Amino acid sequence: MQEITHYINGAMTKGTSGRFSEVFNPATGEVQAQVPLATVEEVNAAVEKAAEAQVAWGATNPQRRARVMMKFGALINEHMDELAELVSREHGKTLPDARGDVQRGLEVVEVCMGAPHMLKGEFTDNGGPGIDLYSMRQPLGVVAGITPFNFPAMIPLWKMAPALASGNAMILKPSERCPSTAMRLAELLKEAGLPDGVLQVVHGDKEAVDAILDNETVQAVGFVGSTPIAQYIYGRAASNGKRAQCFGGAKNHMIIMPDADLDKAADALVGAGYGAAGERCMAISVAVPVGEETADALIEKLTPRVEKLKVGPYTAGEDVDYGPVITAAAKERIERLIASGVSEGADLLIDGRGFELQGYENGYFVGPSLFDRVTPDMEIYKEEIFGPVLSTVRAGSYEEALKITMDNPYGNGTAIYTADGDTARDFAHRVNVGMVGINFPIPVPLSYHTFGGWKKSAFGDLNQYGPDAFRFYTKTKTVTARWFSGIKDGGEFNFKAMD
Ligand code: NAD
């Protein structure tokens, strides 16, 4: 049995708590490793060392820190296949999807290679008589990142790259369900030149998270995970005087207008609804066709596509569309929610329950499920299912479809499929959701923009990565400077005896 360690002061460090969490192979249901769960003392010790290491790192000029990012980016590229395999082994997603996971994190590292530019301050010349004002961005000190299971490479990279490039030290607490990728990234960062102690990877559960939230040295917390935990962490971090940005769950709607290219819309829905077994915060889980005719035609196109999906372990190669869900509990919950949809009166057109794969009978596979005639009062609509289940909510008009989307408490991503620019523009302008796709199903912004949902999908006021991340991970100091006249106006230039 592999025993995963923490990563403290640049070295693999065994946990001392005696408490462990099991890391499963979701395709087989076997336990493949044990991850230690840190105590309050272990977290506090990691923070203390990080604070010591941060002093020199924060004083290192931004260009040198950026060079570490350059080397880190090169190493990620070099180790792309190895990292993707680590992701797939613990998460279960297919290898091409795992490569995407690494790639979208790498792109944030690439933006951080431009840290000197991102960290530049502002200057006002002659704001008053002989007075100049300038502001500078300084690192916060020690910051923390707490990340979910579903993007084991991308989200830790979203947290660590801008935090470190800004001159902070970071305590990263990855998901205890997929802990290994973050460990390998930490090793690569050391190889890239990051001084020991500047990145500490501490594994754990609520005890470790609470220790981070209550530690006075930790200045900021970046969290990604489910909404109830996001809200909890935001509240506790903020009441302890920390900066916090906490990104939560989602229920992403795609509106399909009568003029949409339905083949393209159906292809997009299948990829965005079932890819990664629906375990993406930007997955489309609700299709909202406008008009009965559009809905009927869409369902006709969706059904054969969904039936054809191939579910299997990542080791089966590129033939597989998606893999298992993360745990036995997740599988059970998804199947229970499907049953609730049936009992509440939705039409279950394709039933993914009871899916079994020969040779992988103990794996956490869920077949694709497709619902029609779901209504907003049903549990399957209200809950984030986080599984391979697509619900269709029929709308009578564009305004009704927009209202359904806007009334949903989540606001992470949304999309519209239409051939009409005016409708698309109106939608993008009015919808109360943070990331919008126009004929584009998963509108995760590129790394030089920023990522963040609205409503119950995010707590805090700045987005992840891009310019917002540099604002989050630095504090602004503004100097108002006046120099009284000196040598220029009245100075004495002649050599005189001192008498
Ligand atoms: P989760 O909330 O269970 O766990 C996230 C992190 O919080 C983990 O590190 C976990 O150890 C920790 N945690 C769990 N319970 C805790 C508790 N009681 N107290 C303190 N810490 C706790 O989320 P998950 O299941 O790992 O990830 C899936 C969720 O993340 C989904 O809801 C998904 O939508 C969301 N997500 C959101 C985004 C986004 O950017 N908005 C991105 C990816 C995933």
Q: How far is CA 36 from CA 21, 152, 204, in A?
A: 6, 17, 7
Sequence letter at residue 245: Q
Residues 285 and 273 both lie in one domain: yes
> What's the sign of the alpha-carbon dihedral 405, 409, 411, 413?
negative
Residue 432 lies inside a defined structural domain of this protein: yes
Residue 257 lies inside a defined structural domain of this protein: yes
Nearest to 84 by CA among 95, 68, 70, 71: 95
Residues 242 and 256 both lie in one domain: no
CATH number of the structural domain spanning residue 362 = 3.40.309.10
Residues 106 and 73 both lie in one domain: yes
Tell me the CA–centroid distance for residue 127 and ligand 1, in Å.
47
- Probe residue for ligand 1, chosen from 35, 201, 226 as the CB with the greatest number of ligand atoms within 8 Å: 226
Residues 333 and 400 both lie in one domain: yes
Tell me the CA–centroid distance for residue 318 and ligand 1, in Å.
28
Residue 357 lies inside a defined structural domain of this protein: yes
- Probe residue for ligand 1, chosen from 4, 108, 150 as the CB with the greatest number of ligand atoms within 8 Å: 150
Cβ pair 383, 425 in contact under 8 A: no
Q: What is the pLDDT along the chain (499 residues), one digit of tens a residue?
A: 899 999 999 999 999 999 999 999 999 999 999 999 999 999 999 999 999 999 999 999 999 999 999 999 999 999 999 999 999 999 999 999 999 999 999 999 999 999 999 999 999 999 999 999 999 999 999 999 999 999 999 999 999 999 999 999 999 999 999 999 999 999 999 999 999 999 999 999 999 999 999 999 999 999 999 999 999 999 999 999 999 999 999 999 999 999 999 999 999 999 999 999 999 999 999 999 999 999 999 999 999 999 999 999 999 987 899 999 999 999 999 999 999 999 999 999 999 999 999 999 999 999 999 999 999 999 999 999 999 999 999 999 999 999 999 999 999 999 999 999 999 999 999 999 999 999 999 999 999 999 999 999 999 999 999 999 999 999 999 999 999 877 777 666 666 665 5
CATH number of the structural domain spanning residue 219 = 3.40.605.10
Structure tokens, 169:
């030290």
> What's the sign of the alpha-carbon dihedral 170, 176, 177, 180?
positive
> What's the sign of the alpha-carbon dihedral 87, 89, 91, 95?
positive
Residues 142 and 242 both lie in one domain: yes
Dist CA 203 CA 146 (whole Å): 10
Residues 269 and 206 both lie in one domain: no
Residues 92 and 239 both lie in one domain: yes
Q: Which residues are catalytic?
A: 281
Model pTM score: 0.96
> Ligand 1 pocket by C-beta < 6 Å: which residues?
146-151, 173, 175-176, 205-206, 209, 224-226, 229, 247-250, 281, 384, 386, 412, 453, 457
Residues 222 and 268 both lie in one domain: no
Residues 152 and 281 both lie in one domain: no
Residue 490 lies inside a defined structural domain of this protein: no
Residues 92 and 218 both lie in one domain: yes
Residues 318 and 395 both lie in one domain: yes
Dist CA 401 CA 384 (whole Å): 19
Residues 63 and 141 both lie in one domain: yes
Q: In what order do the strands lie in the sheet with 20-25?
A: 2-3, 30-36, 20-25
Dist CA 219 CA 141 (whole Å): 7
Which residues, other chains included, contact 144 with Cβ-Cβ below 8 Å and sequence gap of 6+?
Answer: 170, 171, 172, 173, 212, 218, 220, 221, 222
- Domain with 141 in it: 2-248+457-481
- Domain count across the chain: 2
